[in-house]
Homo-oligomer: A and B are copies of this chain.
Amino acid sequence: MLMSVKTLQFPKDSPTCTTPGEPANRPACRLETRPMMNATLPIKIEPLKVACSSCNLRELCLPVGLHSDDLAQLDKLVATRRQVNRGDTLFRSGDSFQSLYAVRTGFFKTCVASEDGRDQVTGFQMAGELLGLDGISTDRHSCDAVALEDSSVCVIPYEQLEELSREFTDLQRQFHKIMSREIVRDHGVMLLLGSMRAEERLAAFLLNLTQRLQARGFSAAALVLRMTREEIGSYLGLKLETVSRTFSKFQDEGLLEVKQRQLRILDQAGLQKLVNNTAC
């Protein structure tokens, strides 16, 4: 979240994707209220044939900028999908690292934990975003990835990705850009956590969220939060009460309409101002 922060509102890299418009968060992201179970059921591996070349996320995901030859190769690599139900983990800290995952549908959070129990949400991932980059460093994952709604991911075996990217320059380049972008994003979050006040943090968070939804063809104005106040708070370095109060404040000021997890952005410019006009 939060690219270089200079570009909070208009990330340079947001792919071109026409935005259909209003109908509040499309039903595509369904949030049926099902029991939130953390039980680790036997993992469903669905060897459904999925072709990157025909995926409607290809302009957002790993294949960005690849030509048909390369894409055909990538199709061979990304052969399986995996379904992850709400509340289930895709991987946990300590798990051995084998694959990266591209979110196909659904929504995830990643979080790290310190041994004394505290944990910190380090990001929220939606369609087209990659999960698991943390695992490359030590061949073990260093965070948990948890589905916040029923989701499916494309499995990208890492060894094979390395192999393929030795052959295809464009794929190599794209992969490196994705890793670098994650680093830049993280720096933006550090800036947020290190120097912004509660209102600014929440405003920045909301703007970032709507941008990313918009890039995926959703309305920029209406959205449904996939995460709890506590998860937002963890991500932003705030307590859930503060998040809640700040939502209420924004509502009082006419910036937002808040009904539990249903949000409507009424004054985007007003939110943007909050992020910029700090001290003054």
Task: Decide yes or no: A4 and B120 within 8 Å by CB, A137-B181, A183-B133, A195-B237 being known contacts.
Answer: no
CA distance A181 to B93 in the complex (A): 14
CA distance A169 to B13 in the complex (A): 29
Tell which of B133, B176, B182, B279 touches A162, judged by Cβ atoms closer than 8 Å: B176
Give the number of copies in the complex: 2
In the complex, the answer to whether A138 meets B12 with C-beta atoms within 8 Å is yes
In the complex, the answer to whether A194 meets B133 with C-beta atoms within 8 Å is no
Q: Which residues of B contact A195 (CB under 8 A)?
A: 114, 118-120, 234, 237
A37 in contact (CB, < 8 A): no
Q: Which residues of B contact A236 (CB under 8 A)?
A: 194
Q: Which residues of B contact A128 (CB under 8 A)?
A: none
CA distance A64 to B156 in the complex (A): 26
Interface string of A155-178 (1 = CB under 8 A from B): 000000010011101001100110
Q: Which residues of B contact A138 (CB under 8 A)?
A: 12-13, 177, 184
Query: Which B residue's beta carbon lies closest to that of A110?
Result: B187
A280 in contact (CB, < 8 A): yes
In the complex, the answer to whether A186 meets B183 with C-beta atoms within 8 Å is yes
Size of the A side of the interface (Cβ < 8 Å), in residues, is 56
Q: Which residues of B contact A99 (CB under 8 A)?
A: none
Q: Which residues of B contact A113 (CB under 8 A)?
A: 6
Query: Which B residue's beta carbon lies closest to that of A161?
Result: B176
CA distance A189 to B183 in the complex (A): 12
A31 in contact (CB, < 8 A): no
In the complex, the answer to whether A162 meets B166 with C-beta atoms within 8 Å is no
In the complex, the answer to whether A189 meets B190 with C-beta atoms within 8 Å is yes
A69 in contact (CB, < 8 A): no
A246 in contact (CB, < 8 A): no
CA distance A12 to B234 in the complex (A): 27
Tell which of B120, B135, B169 touches A194, judged by Cβ atoms closer than 8 Å: B120
User: Which 8 A-B residue pairings sit nearest by Cβ, starting from the closest?
Assistant: A136-B180, A186-B186, A137-B180, A194-B237, A193-B193, A120-B191, A137-B181, A4-B142
Interfacial residues, chain A to chain B (CB-CB below 8 A):
4-6, 12-13, 93, 112-116, 118-120, 122, 133-138, 142-143, 162, 165-167, 169, 172-173, 176-177, 179-184, 186-191, 193-195, 234-237, 276-280
Other 4 A-B pairs with CB < 8 A, given A114-B195, A120-B190, A162-B176: A114-B276, A133-B183, A138-B184, A142-B187
